[in-house]
Amino acid sequence: MGFLNNVKLSLVIAVFALIVGTILAAMRVSPTPVLRAAGAAYVNVVRNTPLTLVLAFCYLGLSDTLGLIFSTEDPLANSFWLAVLGMSAYTAAFVCEALRSGMNTVPMGQAEAARAIGLTFLQSLRLIILPQAFRAVIAPLGSVLIAMIKNTTVVAAAGYTVDVSNIMKTTFDDTGVSIPIFLGIVAAFLVLILPIGYYTGWLARRLAVAR
């Protein structure tokens, strides 16, 4: 049950992190200096902050101190969304940098040609740059996804205590059996993560942009 909670967390976080990371990457390459500076500041601060501190800030700072409540009836649902918020904000910084590296592989001439035919920055980003950038960074995005899945084991810092690591600890304390349970959880993560690594590697080779 705890492992399924981690899988559910991973799916939701992956969607939000991809959306926010794409927006941040667009800000990092924006022609507007203020947006570039804001995107760079966000990425540099969040990437260099330990994940547990980000999650603790969401739980103790945003929720307890500032009163950010997602659900007043279900504390577990509230902690779930606090964990999603913290991990999405954290993972988005890594998604942003992966995408920005992909954008740098797109020849400058294509962006200049887009401007020459009258496309706006957002139009050239959506139609020309991002499609090629995503194809170029499938493997790095796969690595970010794998790291994010493994990072879901520390969401207790956001108050979400029904993840696999907390249930594993409770089971250890109740039964005194440790090694078989530990190996079972390791196997479950391997079953989830190894196919992602193999598939993203295969997809990256298949969709590689010829230069």
pTM score = 0.90
Q: How wide is the angle at C-alpha 186 spanned by C-alphas 183 and 187, nearest 5°?
A: 85
pLDDT for the residue 109: 84
Q: How far is Cα 163 from Cα 117, in angstroms, rounded to an integer?
A: 52
Could you report the per-residue pLDDT of 103-125, keeping only the tens digit for each?
988 888 887 888 888 888 888 98
Residue spans of the domains in the chain: they are 2-206
Backbone angles phi and psi of 109, in degrees to 5:
-60, -30
Looking at mean pLDDT, say which of 90-99, 150-159, 165-174 comes out highest. 90-99
Angle at alpha carbon of residue 58, lines to 52 and 60, rounded to 5°: 90
* pLDDT mean across residues, the chain: 88
What is the rounded CA–CA span in Å between residue 130 and residue 114?
Answer: 13
Query: In this structure, which amino acid lies at residue 191?
Result: V
For residue 105 the two structure tokens come to 């592989």
pLDDT reading at 35 higher than 90: yes
Look at the domain 2-206 and name its fold: MetI-like fold (1.10.3720)
Whether residue 40 is predicted with pLDDT greater than 60 in this model: the reply is: yes
